[in-house]
Chains A and B, each alone.
Chain A
């Protein structure tokens, strides 16, 4: 149905309008008249003979005719009335039909718009999701690459550590060597006693200050033993740590790991920081010792870095309700409240550009979770930070 379809007479004249037109026409033309459509439909009046007829046109062609037996002028007047009425009826008819069509078209346009909006929204959402996925994937790839790089770098820094350790070892080695040299000269002094007898012994003793030599000799030896012990300990710590490369799983006593990594770090800190060990016995723990040591080193390095000048680091372990707890607490600068939730984020760092990767804690958490454990951090800004790691007894998967 379209608005510009040409309506016929019966469509244009219907209902009340037709009824009142009938009354007017009867008044004007008498009872002997009829209004007939071009299709031959009898709309008003009745059949009759010998009437005059006049056609009713709206556009170009007749829509019907009016016939009556009255005089022609009257009939023409009546036809004019019907035409005027039809014109109005058609205006109304077309306008209302068009209005309906237009509203429908607008509605359809709206639906179309809505549809395309939905489609583009869907497309957008899909794109966004895809993008999100792709970005995440990218980030994952980058992170993995970075972490691998980080591992490699940390291994390199273990090398650095070793260099530091070598220096540390050189120290005691140096004084043990000079002690031994001194001891050698003391021995020579003592050798002079052989063959002497009586008073010459005591005069030689005095002349060469052998009282002091003997005393110092003992001290030298004692010192040297301490030095050698220290070297031995450093070497053993280093040996523990160097199991970084030994990739297999091993059953370890985590307290030993804590102590050896702690001592390595404290050696590095050069005495400005006091290390306190508060270690309760732990059950054997099955793990990748290289990774565990790396984790402890990361956390301990952070603790050292948080302390400016002198300070204290407490390393502790507990075994409570089937769970291994190890902790490292410092009295350093602490972490501001707004930053604490981000410290495990990859690449989050507050270090001077270039000096920190922001991966230390990220990797530590990776290692803890890989061993079935968890890691937590608590901090009081300005007062210090405590990191706690928990493992199920016996070790992870």
Chain B
């Protein structure tokens, strides 16, 4: 649940990039740090990596001011994908307002994807997030590699769910913004219901999404 400070006129939204080890979560954040032209953009903080593996989390803060003057702040986190860091994953996931699930498109990663997705659902339950209501987007990353699962097959597999699927090549910056956009939309809808973003703060869905995704000027 987003952190709303009425007095400080501040809304802090937590988005979590989840997924199996080496699927490209950190790469997504690095690309966003490069590409986003959001009004306010902090440094990308990567915490304790060991051979490029995330040990704790990465954090990218971005934000903008709503027409009402409300400070809308996003904290984009990545979790460590390696199975052993489950406690950390759970702690990072707690209080998330939305999740981008970064899957690895390579054929030999299907099992890891499924495992990690199940782990996401389980941990959501453990930290008190209703998985049904959680804004979620699925990204199939590394589309530039050979030996990947066909798009049709992936789409067929996820067609019975309500979650959008985005194809990406995070290393090339492709599909990264699209993934964030696809996540921001349901996040806005669920926040608008709680904080009257539109009526109280003059913040429309397009304004919300557009403010975050502004291109580098």
Q: Footprint of B on A, CB under 8 Å? A: 2-4, 6, 58-61, 87, 90-91, 94-95, 98-99, 101-107, 109
Enumerate the 3 nearest inter-chain pairs by beta-carbon distance, A residue then B residue, closest first: A106-B87, A102-B87, A105-B87
Q: Identify the interface centre among A2, A4, A87, A106: most chain B CB within 10 Å of its CB.
A: A4
Q: By the criterion CB–CB under 8 Å, are A2 and B95 in contact?
A: yes
User: Are A59 and B61 CB-contacts (below 8 A) given A91-B47, A109-B86?
Assistant: yes
Q: Is B214 positioned at the interface, with any CB of A under 8 Å from its CB?
A: no
Q: By the criterion CB–CB under 8 Å, are A95 and B91 in contact?
A: no
Q: By the criterion CB–CB under 8 Å, are B71 and A98 in contact?
A: no
**Chain B neighbourhood of A101, CB < 8 A:** 87-88, 91
**Chain A neighbourhood of B77, CB < 8 A:** 4
Q: By the criterion CB–CB under 8 Å, are B87 and A61 in contact?
A: no
CA distance A58 to B61 in the complex (A): 10
**Nearest Cβ distance between residue B39 and chain A, in whole angstroms?**
9
**Nearest Cβ distance between residue A187 and chain B, in whole angstroms?**
110
**Chain B neighbourhood of A99, CB < 8 A:** 56, 88
* Tally of B interface residues using CB under 8 Å: 30
Q: Is B57 positioned at the interface, with any CB of A under 8 Å from its CB?
A: yes
Task: Give chain B interface residues in 25-82, CB to chain A under 8 Å.
Answer: 40-43, 45, 47-48, 56-57, 59, 61-63, 71, 73, 75, 77
**Chain B neighbourhood of A109, CB < 8 A:** 86-87, 90, 126
**Nearest Cβ distance between residue B85 and chain A, in whole angstroms?**
7
User: Are A103 and B87 CB-contacts (below 8 A) given A2-B94, A60-B61, A60-B73?
Assistant: yes
Q: Is B92 positioned at the interface, with any CB of A under 8 Å from its CB?
A: yes
Q: By the criterion CB–CB under 8 Å, are A4 and B88 in contact?
A: no
CA distance A61 to B39 in the complex (A): 12
**Nearest Cβ distance between residue A168 and chain B, in whole angstroms?**
82
CA distance A90 to B48 in the complex (A): 13
Q: Is B142 positioned at the interface, with any CB of A under 8 Å from its CB?
A: no
Write the chain A residue with the least CB distance to B127: A105
**Chain A neighbourhood of B85, CB < 8 A:** 102
With A59-B73, A102-B87, A105-B87 known, 5 other A-B pairs at CB within 8 A are A2-B91, A6-B12, A98-B92, A103-B87, A105-B90
Q: Is B14 positioned at the interface, with any CB of A under 8 Å from its CB?
A: yes
**Chain B neighbourhood of A4, CB < 8 A:** 14, 59, 75, 77, 92, 95
User: Are A102 and B90 CB-contacts (below 8 A) given A4-B75, A4-B77, A60-B63?
Assistant: yes
Q: By the criterion CB–CB under 8 Å, are A98 and B40 in contact?
A: no
Q: By the criterion CB–CB under 8 Å, are A95 and B56 in contact?
A: yes
Which one of B14, B43, B56 contacts A98 once the chains associate, using CB atoms below 8 Å? Answer: B56
CA distance A98 to B47 in the complex (A): 11
- Offer 24 A-B interface pairs, CB within 8 angstroms, sorted by A: A2-B94, A4-B59, A4-B77, A4-B92, A4-B95, A6-B12, A59-B73, A60-B40, A60-B63, A87-B45, A91-B45, A94-B56, A94-B59, A95-B47, A95-B56, A98-B91, A101-B88, A102-B88, A104-B87, A105-B88, A105-B90, A106-B86, A107-B87, A109-B87
Q: By the criterion CB–CB under 8 Å, are B87 and A59 in contact?
A: no
User: Are A94 and B90 CB-contacts (below 8 A) given A60-B73, A61-B71?
Assistant: no
Write the chain A residue with the least CB distance to B47: A95
**Nearest Cβ distance between residue A109 and chain B, in whole angstroms?**
7
**Chain A neighbourhood of B10, CB < 8 A:** 61
Q: Identify the interface centre among A87, A99, A103, A105: most chain B CB within 10 Å of its CB.
A: A105
**Nearest Cβ distance between residue A94 and chain B, in whole angstroms?**
7
CA distance A94 to B88 in the complex (A): 12
CA distance A4 to B57 in the complex (A): 11
Write the chain A residue with the least CB distance to B40: A60
CA distance A59 to B88 in the complex (A): 22
Q: By the criterion CB–CB under 8 Å, are B91 and A105 in contact?
A: yes
Q: By the criterion CB–CB under 8 Å, are A59 and B42 in contact?
A: yes
CA distance A61 to B72 in the complex (A): 11
Write the chain A residue with the least CB distance to B93: A105
CA distance A208 to B176 in the complex (A): 140
**Chain A neighbourhood of B95, CB < 8 A:** 2, 4
**Chain A neighbourhood of B48, CB < 8 A:** 95
Write the chain B residue with the least CB distance to A104: B87
CA distance A352 to B186 in the complex (A): 79
Write the chain B residue with the least CB distance to A83: B43
Task: Give chain B interface residues in 120-147, CB to chain A under 8 Å.
Answer: 126
**Chain B neighbourhood of A58, CB < 8 A:** 42
**Chain A neighbourhood of B91, CB < 8 A:** 2-3, 98, 101-102, 105
Q: Identify the interface centre among A60, A87, A101, A105: most chain B CB within 10 Å of its CB.
A: A60
CA distance A95 to B80 in the complex (A): 13
**Chain A neighbourhood of B45, CB < 8 A:** 87, 90-91
CA distance A60 to B86 in the complex (A): 29
**Nearest Cβ distance between residue B75 and chain A, in whole angstroms?**
7
Write the chain A residue with the least CB distance to B122: A109
